[in-house]
Amino acid sequence: MVEAVLDSVVLSRALLGEDERAVAVLEKAARGELDLIWSAYVYPDAFQAIVSLAETQVLSTAEAHAFIRLALSIPCRAVPVQEMASAAAVTALARRLRYRPACDVTLAESRNVRLITADPDSAAACRDSILLT
């Protein structure tokens, strides 16, 4: 099976139906065609985006809860930050990335898989990436 690391912005866009390519990534995972891996940071980052939409009344509270439940049901491997903390710090410093994107790059490169990201800096820093803008 093909594996890929997904960042939190792509997950948020997919959950909210904002990007057809991001939605297609989740659909492939649901069909068992893609094994998703992400840093444990993805959940709080994606959920903050959803909560912010509820706070500004773009989403109802019920819709926000539904999106969060959907995110938790997506088949994936959430990797604890401790497993990459030191290596991600080195990546961040060496490639001039923010720490959380460096976690995504480090995770993808340590597993020799593609990074699917909405961050141009992460895409440029990673050996194998797809940029969804």
Structural domains in the chain, sorted by start = 2-131 (3.40.50.1010)
pTM for this prediction: 0.90
Residue 49's closest CA among 1, 8, 86, 20?
8
Report the alpha-carbon angle 18-24-30, nearest 5: 120
pLDDT band for 5, please (50, 70, 90 cuts): very high
Q: For residue range 82-99, what is the model confidence (pLDDT) as tens digits?
A: 999 999 999 999 999 999
Q: Average pLDDT, stretch 109-127? A: 96
Contact between 10 and 115 under an 8 Å Cβ cutoff? The reply is no
Q: For residue range 12-68, what is the model confidence (pLDDT) as tens digits?
A: 999 999 999 999 999 999 999 999 999 999 999 999 999 999 999 999 999 999 999
Specify the pLDDT at position 83: 93
